[in-house]
Chains A and B, each alone.
Chain A
Amino acid sequence: MLLRNKEFVLAACLACLTHLGMAQVPPNARTVRLEALLGLIDKPGSIRVINFWATWCAPCIKELPLFEQLNNESDDVEVYLVSMDLDLDPDPLKVYRFMERRKILSTVLLLDEKDPNSWIDQIDSSWSGALPATLVVNPTTGRRIFVEKQLHNGDIQEIIAELK
């Protein structure tokens, strides 16, 4: 009966493959449901930058170094890269391999939630659902800025300065 549970089978396969050293779940990657993501966005703490991306999205990949740099250089900003890959492909291995190849160090959250129309507005009501998109939150003031476009050098810093 357990074998009918897709998640059990996937977890068992991953466990075997990990043991064999063939597929590694990067320590900075985890799968999240919508509720956990929404909770994370609003929880108290420092300024939070949440980038929505996917391995198939060329402009997303172009702007990733900006977030990696921010993650590397800022002690007072939290960076999260939310992968939307599972919406099209239930296999997270593609994301893990991408992370390994590109040596992604920021926290990567793979959003696992069906029926995007039911939650896109909960991330931001102005979001069309298109990628890339970035949400920056100041949990202390409650203010947020959401941009639906590829960012370039200096853009994130300007948004953060506006929220401080």
Chain B
Amino acid sequence: MKKTLKILLIVCFAVLTAGKSPLPEGYQVGDPVQNFKLRNVDDKMVSLSDYSDQMGVILIFDCNTCPYSQAYNQRIIDLHEKYSAKGFPVITINANDPDLSPGDSFGEMVKRAEKKAYKFPYLIDESQEVARAFGATNTPHVFLLNRTGSDFVVAYIGAIDNNSRDASSASKRYVEAAIGAILEGKKVPTQKTKAVGCGIKYRNT
């Protein structure tokens, strides 16, 4: 009876840690990414392939509600301001399930983009398929894409810099360093970083 119970507990545990909808590993640095097509806050569809004339894209999984997203909001706007002219525009994607996070509904996204006068797309990933394909975990979560021929290849994954609460105190600006390296034809110095943050609100399928 005891042994059966232990086996049962182990099985339950295996199910528990496997998760109800396990997150695939997602793209790694060096991987070419598949095209995606998502709805923007102006109700038009935006595809990654629309950017095939750019040098790359600063793709950021972001949201309305997370205090980390709020702390980084101006820095995201600034990145677009600084780098779109250099061939690296920003695209933001909100993959949060609005049922789990009502502040991230499409209507709320439209309001946020208007209030902050976004000059870049703020796309909704309703099925969460794009976020899963990338393996996005937190908000904000950057995937710097470098266009090589007709492919967009992942060049950097992770945080914008190493100081969430104070932009001026950040000693490492990861995304800027990565873009700088690409523009100089050099190797990206730090290819992957992690940060504390809000988990993306994935639906349990």
Contacts and interface: CB of A to CB of B under 8 A. Distances in A.
Interface of A: 56-57, 59, 84, 87-90, 114-118, 120-121, 127-132, 145, 147-149, 155, 158-159, 161-162
A129 B71 contact: no
B9 A117 contact: no
Interface of B: 6, 9-10, 12-13, 16-17, 19, 67-68, 71, 137-138, 158-159, 162-165, 171-172, 193-200
Nearest to A150: B199
A90 B169 CA distance: 13
Contact of B197 (A114, A115, A130, A145): A130
A120 B196 contact: yes
Nearest to A152: B16
17 contacts: A57-B198, A59-B199, A87-B164, A88-B67, A88-B68, A114-B162, A115-B163, A116-B162, A116-B195, A117-B193, A129-B137, A129-B196, A132-B199, A145-B17, A158-B9, A158-B16, A162-B9
A114 B163 contact: yes
Q: Lowest 8 CB-CB distances: which A-B pairs, in order?
A: A130-B199, A128-B137, A117-B193, A120-B194, A129-B194, A130-B138, A162-B13, A129-B196
A120 to B, nearest CB: 4
A27 B83 CA distance: 49
Nearest to B166: A90
Given A116-B195, A131-B197, A149 B158 contact: no
A37 B177 CA distance: 31
B138 A128 contact: yes
A161 B9 contact: yes
A84 to B, nearest CB: 5
A158 B13 contact: yes
A117 B137 contact: no
Contacts of B199: 59, 128, 130-132, 148-149
A87 B13 contact: no
Contacts of B163: 114-115
